[in-house]
Structure 1
């Protein structure tokens, strides 16, 4: 079998084709200025890429921190839900009565101490105000005044 369609790459298909190279309109200066612009754009893109990469790392780190915080909060929520779900057990007997009485005595002592502290502060403020107005003179306070305490 003979191949009737043989391609010859050296001869043009159409005779009207121009085999002379096209004249280049760009001068060497234009090419060098375009090359400089491309280098500048390349540097700009490289710095932009570096900024994007650092921003991505920062966002990734923030995402990890937020994820850990959410994990801790979910554990706290689970603990609170577990505490709410537990039934309150009341211990009966003389031991519970003794603990309740001690708690009442302790809270009563705290209340008395708080009221006494408020009364003492009020008296001190009233005494200082009366002394400043000159309505009372403190003869026994002379040593304290000498020391600069009053």
Structure 2
């Protein structure tokens, strides 16, 4: 096959009129402008979505930081009653009636239980927010001012 010979005999013999060529070019320019505007609006939407996700990531990070602090506090509260029970059990001369936990220890236990419930509720809230079952990006700062 000779690459220099045209495939169709008439391919180079049909001249385009300049009006048709100008219309084709102008329609191509209009399409390019429309696509450019479409891409620009798409880019703007992506940029706003990125900002929203970044803000949501910051809020979730702060919530997780607060939750980790709560977990540390709960662990500390759990460790303190164990130390008190070990010291009571180590003293052989004490009776079982006097080994009852003092009132402050009961308060600590109640605080520990309350903290555990609060942590569980916070984890459930974050899980629901992450899965999209609830969406509180606008109400989160109003409800939880300490987390911002």
**TM-score bracket relative to the smaller structure:** 0.3 to 0.5
Relative contact order: is structure 1 or structure 2 higher (C-alpha 8 Å, sep ≥ 6)?
2
* TM-score normalised over the length of structure 1: 0.43
* TM-score normalised over the length of structure 2: 0.44
Larger gyration radius, structure 1 or structure 2: 1
Q: Which has the higher helix share?
A: 2
